[in-house]
């Protein structure tokens, strides 16, 4: 496969000025975020359903529309996660055509951040950085640490001090240098901007952010391909910085433009925790003005109080006829349990947010039962087990003796069932 055929460069969202390719995330003139623009006509002949199907079963099958430097040979099988029909969850919440995009099992570090990091680090190498890093709410830290280790790059990673222990461990194990900051993500991110300049390091979500963000498009490409090259009616997406939700839309638009899918209206629904809901608040109030918040939620991976792409995300959601909702910490835990109990998928707190918001959108009638709806599960529950610490206390309570009578008694106690019910169940 030829990985060096895309022609791309940085472009300012506001003034349209082009900046070639360099580690730069904002327009020096108008301070708006930079995005990657492609010569779509140049890839029309090579970005086809057939060529993609002949590619590897990972995100690199879409390399022609990713910002990959000439000569880059990707070797990590990132992405191409399952899209599963959620019949059981659907039955519970009144959905007939609900799908789960399951990035809880993304390779290599079990969140969708593996997609963005692999694209960012390809460019970090091209730009000559030997040390890379990020400001992270957890999953990004894990992915940068793992992928930097594989590429032989040094990694320095900054996180808020109150991160889940599993996400700390999942960073340190790869040999990364981890710095806990006494502050929230927004403090961490500001500091990283200064460090990137001072030390000349490649921070994937700071000076490499436009390249990083493009990796999220692969979620959109995969959804369309896995639905048999059609677009869904609705997509429910968790929001932290507000990047992923916009990039799924960008992917759909590119597929329509190049004729891989038929055009149709797709509505985007954003999901946040009430304890950090700057984007959903803006959407509900009908504004693009984001009022920064001080995060206070168990959904730490979504705890960005001043989201970089918040204004653009809020504008897009409303503009396409979508909506945004936020749920409490109690609902987040219930969402984690509901997805696990119905579909056998154990997601982290962010997935609890998405699942609960999805259920609410059906309950509100904003999504109707027969529409094709994809709920994006972006991270793995094994990283946030502390969120469930109070949910299964009886397991720790005591062990029973290895006797059938003890087991019988224990089961009755556990289920609160009667003798006759037990007999029926055993029959």
Binding site for ligand PLP (CB under 6 A): 111, 113, 139, 238-244, 301-302, 348, 350, 378-379
Question: Cβ closer to ligand PLP: 139 or 373?
Answer: 139
Distance CA 231, CA 146 (A): 33
Question: Cβ closer to ligand PLP: 52 or 247?
Answer: 247
Q: How far is the CB of 242 from ligand PLP (least distance, A)?
A: 5
Q: How far is the CB of 414 from ligand PLP (least distance, A)?
A: 33
Contact 240, 137 (CB under 8 A): yes
Distance CA 334, CA 318 (A): 28
Question: Cβ closer to ligand PLP: 97 or 301?
Answer: 301
Question: Cβ closer to ligand PLP: 139 or 375?
Answer: 139
Q: How far is the CB of 191 from ligand PLP (least distance, A)?
A: 18
Q: Helix or strand or coil: residue 24? A: coil
Question: Cβ closer to ligand PLP: 139 or 356?
Answer: 139
C-beta neighbour count of 362 within 10 angstroms = 20
Contact 302, 270 (CB under 8 A): no
Long-range contacts for 424-427 (Cβ within 8 Å, ≥24 apart)? none
How many residues can be counted in the chain? 427
Distance CA 44, CA 279 (A): 35
Question: Cβ closer to ligand PLP: 232 or 241?
Answer: 241
Q: How far is the CB of 315 from ligand PLP (least distance, A)?
A: 15
Find the angle CA(77)-CA(80)-CA(81) to the nearest 5 degrees: 115
Q: How far is the CB of 212 from ligand PLP (least distance, A)?
A: 9
Q: Which residues contact 210 (CB under 8 A, 6 or more apart)?
A: 10, 24, 25, 33, 34, 35, 36, 67
Q: How far is the CB of 127 from ligand PLP (least distance, A)?
A: 22
């Amino acid at each position: 496969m030829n990985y060096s055929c895309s022609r791309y460069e940085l472009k300012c969202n506001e003034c349209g000025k082009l900046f070639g390719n360099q580690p730069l995330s904002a327009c020096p003139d108008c301070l708006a975020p930079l995005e990657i623009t492609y010569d779509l006509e140049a890839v029309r002949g090579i970005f086809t359903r057939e060529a993609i199907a002949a590619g590897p079963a990972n995100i690199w099958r879409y390399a022609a529309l990713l910002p990959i430097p000439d000569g880059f040979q990707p070797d990590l099988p990132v992405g191409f996660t399952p899209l599963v029909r959620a019949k059981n969850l659907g039955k519970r919440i009144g959905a007939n055509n609900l799908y789960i995009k399951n990035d809880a099992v993304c390779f290599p570090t079990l969140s969708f951040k593996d997609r963005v990091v692999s694209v960012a680090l390809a460019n970090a190498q091209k730009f000559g950085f030997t040390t890379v890093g990020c400001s992270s709410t957890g999953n990004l830290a894990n992915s940068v640490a793992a992928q930097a280790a594989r590429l032989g790059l040094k990694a320095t990673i900054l996180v808020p001090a109150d991160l889940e222990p599993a996400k700390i461990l999942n960073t340190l194990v790869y040999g990364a240098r981890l710095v806990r900051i006494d502050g929230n993500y927004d403090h961490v991110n500001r500091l990283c901007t200064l460090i990137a300049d001072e030390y000349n390091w490649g921070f994937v979500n700071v000076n490499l952010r436009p390249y990083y963000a493009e990796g999220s498009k692969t979620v959109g490409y995969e959804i369309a391909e896995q639905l048999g090259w059609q677009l869904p009616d609705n997509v429910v997406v968790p929001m932290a910085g507000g990047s992923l939700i916009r990039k799924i839309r960008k992917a759909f638009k590119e597929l329509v433009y190049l004729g891989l899918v038929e055009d149709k209206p797709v509505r985007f629904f954003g999901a946040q925790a009430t304890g950090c809901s700057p984007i959903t608040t803006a959407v509900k109030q009908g504004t693009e003005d984001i009022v920064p918040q001080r995060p206070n939620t168990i959904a730490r991976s979504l705890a960005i109080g001043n989201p970089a792409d918040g204004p653009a995300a809020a504008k897009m959601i409303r503009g396409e006829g979508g909506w945004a909702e936020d749920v409490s910490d109690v609902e987040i835990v219930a969402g984690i349990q509901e997805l696990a109990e119905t579909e056998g998928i154990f997601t982290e707190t962010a997935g609890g947010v998405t699942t609960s918001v999805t259920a609410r959108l059906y309950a509100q009638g904003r999504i109707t039962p027969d529409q094709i709806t994809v709920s994006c599960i972006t991270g793995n529950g094994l990283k946030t087990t502390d969120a469930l610490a109070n949910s299964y206390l009886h397991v720790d309570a005591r062990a029973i003796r290895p006797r059938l009578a003890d087991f019988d008694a224990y089961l009755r106690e556990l289920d609160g069932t009667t003798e006759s019910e037990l007999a029926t169940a055993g029959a």
